[in-house]
Amino acid sequence: MAPPPAAPAPPSAWQQAMANAYTSPIPVKKTHLGNALSSEWTKIKSVRSTMWTLGTFLLLVVGIGLLAAANTEPRNYAEMPFTVPAFFGLMLGQICLITLGVLVTSSEYGTGMIRTTFTASPQRHRVLAAKVLVFFATAFVVSAGAILFVGLVTSSMNSGPEAGDIPWAGTVIKGSLYVSLLGVLALAVGSMLRHSAGAITAMLGVVLVPAIMPAFLMIWESTQSLGEKMNDYNAITALAKIFGAEDNGTGGGSQLTVLVVVTAAAVAGAFTLLEKRDV
């Protein structure tokens, strides 16, 4: 006869503990990009640096823009769009968006909170993608609103038979896109350098050096072509072409394309280094 089956072994202490483990009543859901976007939006709207930088940006763009509009006449807009006064404010205001772009990433490294962020969201590429999307949307909406406001006020102050009928909706979109991409470029540089002061200094060099160096490079014939290219593609000239201060409002396309390529390369580098380096 076959022996009777052995009795099952009593559960171990570990198995008993697991059987009595606490089960959360909160449903567990798989995280996605939307959760990271919500987290980054909470961060960017709750820190003081956002209010200071965007507040200063609006003060510069709107304040200088309206001051310039008050000192113009309808005939000044015969061949230029009504958003030209916003260009003068953006020459300084772009520095605010660059600073904010750097702080979106580098401030977490400076405080050490980036470790908490990556612990909560181990997929680092999702965190950086959320930072880029939230910052770009915020910068674009704020800058577009400021440029649009200046354009509307300028058109109401200087409309008349002497003023031209130059369309200016495109300058709102392209101008906002340009300064927002500069901010995203700063965000990528901040992610790669992980140091606020160093990244801001590097971005100021990117903006200011190409605007200053052509005056020296065009002195010598051997560097004249380089100086001309640098003069055509620096940030101030690009904004001037976009807003119609040069080329009657038809330029800026090639400058915007170059910035898109440079920003995409910097963001790609930031994603690559983010996965390779420790925090």
What does the pLDDT look like over 128-142, one tens digit per residue?
999 999 999 999 999
Residue 236 CA from chain centroid, whole number: 17
Q: What does pLDDT average to over the chain?
A: 86
Q: What percent of the chain has pLDDT over 90?
A: 46
Q: DSSP alpha helices (H): ranges in 71-168?
A: 84-111, 113-120, 124-158
Residues 6 or more apart whose CB falls under 8 angstroms from that of 77 comprise: 84, 154, 158, 163, 164, 166
- What one-character-per-residue DSSP string does 193-244 give? H--HHHHHHHHHHHHHHHHHTHHHHTTSGGGHHHHHHHHHHSHHHHHHHHTT
Closest of 208, 139, 152 to residue 179, by C-alpha: 139
Per-residue model confidence (pLDDT) at position 223: 85
The residue with tokens 């930088």 is 53
**pTM listed for this prediction:** 0.86
Residues 6 or more apart whose CB falls under 8 angstroms from that of 255 comprise: 178, 232, 233, 237, 238, 241, 242
Structure tokens at 27: 């449903």
DSSP-derived letter for residue 25 is: S
* pLDDT digit string, tens, across residues 23-80: 667 676 777 888 889 989 999 999 888 999 999 999 999 999 999 988 888 888 878 8
Closest of 83, 88, 72 to residue 160, by C-alpha: 72
